[in-house]
Amino acid sequence: MENTFPFQVDKLTDPESKTPYYCIQASVGDIDGYPDLFEEYGFGGNGYSWAEHIQAILNEREPDILEQLEFDEEGDTFLVRTENEETMHKFISAIQPVFGTKKTLKKYLSQADPDDFEE
């Protein structure tokens, strides 16, 4: 599988429906230097903030996959799930180049307007 940092991707099965799905998650408060970068540019940096930024990026790069993603973020955890393997790969391909290093994340955050985001 391609590089997924800072995300962990797991293939799981829903215990009730027995449907397999992909869980893409990040412990956003534990990634060295990332919370500080968000704060430096006026963003919250928590799971909700990540979800807002990721949805904005997907709206530009892969808007067709948004309907296939179920976001479930809280506190210092970002989590999204999809039942579609291709959607998971498209998500990683669109988001990992932005969130994959502090340098690329810093570039993105420096160009983002805090007034466009709630968190």
Condensed to tens digits (0 to 9), the pLDDT of residues 49-77 reads: 999 999 999 999 999 999 999 999 888 99
For the segment 5-38, what is each residue's pLDDT rounded down to a tens digit? 999 999 999 999 999 999 999 999 999 999 999 9
119 domain-assigned: no
Return d(Cα 18, Cα 116) in angstroms, integer: 39
CA of 39: how far to CAs of 35, 44, 109, 114, in Å? Answer: 6, 6, 10, 10
Could you list the residue range(s) of the whole structural domain that residue 65 is in?
Answer: 8-114
1 domain-assigned: no
2 domain-assigned: no
Q: How many domains does the chain have?
A: 1
Residues contacting 89, CB < 8 A, separation 6+: 2
Q: Which pLDDT score, from 0 to 100, does residue 1 have?
A: 55
105 domain-assigned: yes
